Amino acid sequence: MVSVQQPELFAPEPVTTPGMYCEVAVPLPVRGCFTYGVPAGMMKHVSPGVRVVVPFKGQRLVGYVVSVDAAVPEGLTASQVRPIFHLLEAEPVFPEDLLRFLKEAAEYYLHPLGEVLRSAAPAVEKRAGRDPHGGPPGARGDTMKARWTRVHEETYVQLAPSPPDGAAAPPKARGDKQAQILAILAARTEVSMAELRQQVKEPRAAVESLRNRGMVALERREVPDDPFFGAPVPRDAPPELNDAQRDAVEAIVGALTHRERATFMLHGITGSGKTEVYLRAMAAAQAANKGALLLLPEIALTPQLVARYRARFGDNLAVLHSGLRDNDRHAMWKKLHRGECRVAIGARSAIFAPVRDLGLVVVDEEHDASFKQDDHFRYHGRDLALLRAHRAGVVCVLGSATPSVESYHAAMEGRYRLLHLPHRATQATLPDIEIVDLKRVGPKGPTGHELLSLPLVRALGTALARKEQAILFLNRRGFAPSVRCLRCDVALECPSCSVALVLHRREGALRCHYCDFKAPFAGACITCGCTELALLGVGTEKLEHALVASFPAARIGRLDRDVASGLGAEEVLARLRRGDLDILVGTQMVTKGHDIPRVTLVGVINADAALAFPDFRATERTFQLLAQVSGRAGRRELPGRVLIQTWQPEHPVLRRARTHDFLGFYEDEVAGRQELGYPPFGRLAALKMDGPEDPKLQAQVASLDDFLRAMPEVIDGAVKVLGPAPSPIERIRGRFRMQFLLRASERPPLRRVLARVVGALDDFTRDEVRLALDVDPMNML
């Protein structure tokens, strides 16, 4: 809910009859729009796309004008219509074409329009009519150049030096927060208070206590307001293209020049120079006075990558990222809206950026699951990029080394134009990939540590001897993913979720990775107090610990959400680039787009983990992960090597990954999908229900089940209902979860079924039960 207490920009006049009427969408989970009157003094300012403040059930809410009309709607009288209170801006926040696009998105995903518009809109400016940086409008200049000169002071927390040998032992942490802060600093050495606040709730008092006891030091320093523009970047000279890059650029620029509505699937192996193709295409769009929009996964949106675009286009581009302050985001939105900036780069939500005269939309790493929003407005950024480009009649480019099965199938059918980049742009070859059969060699090598096999230990030793670097990938954070009490004979579970608690040993805590429940760990069962515990499995913290013991001379770092988030991850990667780290252990954060010349070895610690997910896309995601992380090795002159440890060496997806055979993988996968009717050969929607009490949830689930099975589309088999079934994770945050999966070979019958469910939503959401619709679901958990 968005309620406001704001100075009025255009205050209403006391009128009895409105000058005209407007339909307003409010940012609440309610369907439809609401009619309000427009006082005569505001008539010239109210138009579709404007934000207004309206009365709604005793509150003042920010709403969005969807349409205006001179006549009162049928069924209402003028006396029944309340007037809007005031406007937030003098001009529409959504231009006409963007508003149409957002309406269509709301309709496709069957989500309330007001919530969709709230997701797309910039934050409300805190001081109406003033520049968000404190001066009157225009006081800071109307360009985004020299943005890097704007700085503010930030406090950095640093780990205090260890006491010399023979000195008294350092004091211990007091409480969970201090332990968590020290665990982060042990992996990072220093961290800003801004980032610490993202990982530790209200950390200031804990930091002050640690400082007073001599365990940490604080330092104030100037940092740029926007870290993506932290220092000037010299302009670059475009490199020479290879033949495949040149063909791809010519095809895309040709479509831009002829103003064609075209979609390209750019399939290029890792390191093949896809980014240079994007740069050339975006430069061509700018030369034609057209705007360009680039979407990429949040994990790949780094200052290093943005620097490549700044080097080509200068600083007059918008970078939309989660770290932006509200006022900066609002200022950037306005510059795009006015056409003062024509290039926008950002993660999933950047698809809503108001780029003027849009001519090109690019989606890098189009296969990445993070483009799908998993709660509230459950949209897919890639699919909305396709829709926006199609409705604007412009070019859309989807790029990936491992395209999604759906996108590649569309290209194979001729709906997208397929472009290939089969060679690395640096002339380096793809790394050699070896499958390590853990059944044959055993998971424990000469060091005795779990999942450090003999071949991996030898490969690490060779890389270190050559002064080369290694990346080890394990997509599971923490020390031990499960702690089992030998007396109770049960794994220690979260009290609110049906998942095991993960031991974070350096922090001294058991944590739930779903609801963030935390309990101190003192080496005893939290239920019976027994100290005989089995620490099962391996997480990144345990792997880091094993590597430190096995290679004491090596400089080892870790990159996961426990030690870094957002721009903090870039600091860890910068250490790897500078050569300050020999081995980097990490989760999925180490797999995306990093180009580090001396990384020659990549180790995949447990390739089987992703295959075990209860999801028909499990094999696809496993192949994508393996291909992406393998692509970090040997990207320049030094040859690369990849070791994949597995208990299933004969699994088809691992055999395809070993030979870099995407086409073979695609053919295997698409055959299975066709037989089962899964995308791209069918349409899916998930109905996800949850409630605080299982019996009441079951009653609502049974009611919805009866409702679905009585529909003609289900009776005649046009729509198949799978379930209801408990979700793979049956309880999260104290709420029990059930789900249906609806499958159809064609979209229209599925849409009709979903529309009826939406129309009867109140019948299935009693007794605190919630029902969420997920069109084209990506997450089956």
The string of pLDDT tens digits covering residues 239-278 is 999 999 999 999 999 999 999 999 999 999 999 999 999 9
CA distance 369 to 205: 38
Identify the band that residue 159 occupies on the pLDDT scale cut at 50, 70 and 90.
Answer: confident
pTM beyond 0.75: the answer is yes
CA distance 586 to 395: 36
What is the predicted pLDDT for the residue at 718? 97
Q: Contact at 8 Å (CB) between 589 and 299?
A: yes
Hey, CA dihedral for 262, 267, 270, 271, is it positive or negative? Answer: negative
Identify the band that residue 39 occupies on the pLDDT scale cut at 50, 70 and 90.
Answer: confident
Question: What distance, in Å, lies between the first and last C-alpha atoms of the chain?
Answer: 27
Q: Contact at 8 Å (CB) between 732 and 515?
A: yes
**What average pLDDT does range 91-96 have in this prediction?**
91
What is the predicted pLDDT for the residue at 150? 59
**What average pLDDT does range 419-427 have in this prediction?**
91
Identify the band that residue 393 occupies on the pLDDT scale cut at 50, 70 and 90.
Answer: very high
What is the predicted pLDDT for the residue at 64? 96
Q: Does the structure show a pLDDT above 70 at 9?
A: no
Q: Contact at 8 Å (CB) between 513 and 529?
A: no
Q: If you average pLDDT over every residue of the chain, what do you get? A: 88
What is the predicted pLDDT for the residue at 145? 41
DSSP state letter for 507: T
C-beta atoms surrounding 568 within 10 Å: 21
Q: Mind giving me the DSSP string for 282-335? A: HHHHHHTT-EEEEE--GGG--HHHHHHHHHHHTT-SEEE-TT--HHHHHHHHHH
Which residues are 88's β-sheet partners?
none
Q: Does the structure show a pLDDT above 80 at 292?
A: yes
What is the predicted pLDDT for the residue at 661? 96
**What average pLDDT does range 379-405 have in this prediction?**
97
**What average pLDDT does range 580-589 have in this prediction?**
92
Closest CA to 604 of 577, 635, 633, 574: 633
Closest CA to 398 of 282, 246, 274: 274
What is the predicted pLDDT for the residue at 144? 41
**What average pLDDT does range 360-368 have in this prediction?**
97
Between 18-22, 86-90, 242-246, 659-663, the lowest mean confidence (pLDDT) is in 18-22
At 245 the three-state DSSP class reads helix
Identify the band that residue 567 occupies on the pLDDT scale cut at 50, 70 and 90.
Answer: low
- From the centroid of its chain, how far is CA 701? 31
Identify the band that residue 227 occupies on the pLDDT scale cut at 50, 70 and 90.
Answer: low
- From the centroid of its chain, how far is CA 218? 32
Between 238-242, 312-316, 366-370, 734-738, the lowest mean confidence (pLDDT) is in 312-316
Q: How far apart, in Å, are the Cα atoms of 52 and each of 434, 460, 476, 666?
A: 61, 61, 46, 50
Q: Does the structure show a pLDDT above 80 at 221?
A: no
pLDDT digits (tens, 9 = 90+) for 604-614: 999 998 898 88
Q: Does the structure show a pLDDT above 60 at 600?
A: yes
Q: Which residue has the tokens 């990029």?
A: 385
Q: At what angle do helices 662-676 and 618-630 cross, to 10 degrees?
A: 170
What is the predicted pLDDT for the residue at 290? 95
Contacts of 159 (CB under 8 A, 6+ apart): 182, 185, 186, 189, 190, 215, 216, 217
Between 17-21, 295-299, 393-397, the lowest mean confidence (pLDDT) is in 17-21
What is the predicted pLDDT for the residue at 149? 45
**What average pLDDT does range 593-605 have in this prediction?**
90
Q: Does the structure show a pLDDT above 50 at 4?
A: no
- What 499-502 contacts at long range (C-beta under 8 Å, 24+ apart), as own/partner pairs, is 499/729, 502/477, 502/478, 502/539
Q: Which residue has the tokens 């620097």?
A: 307
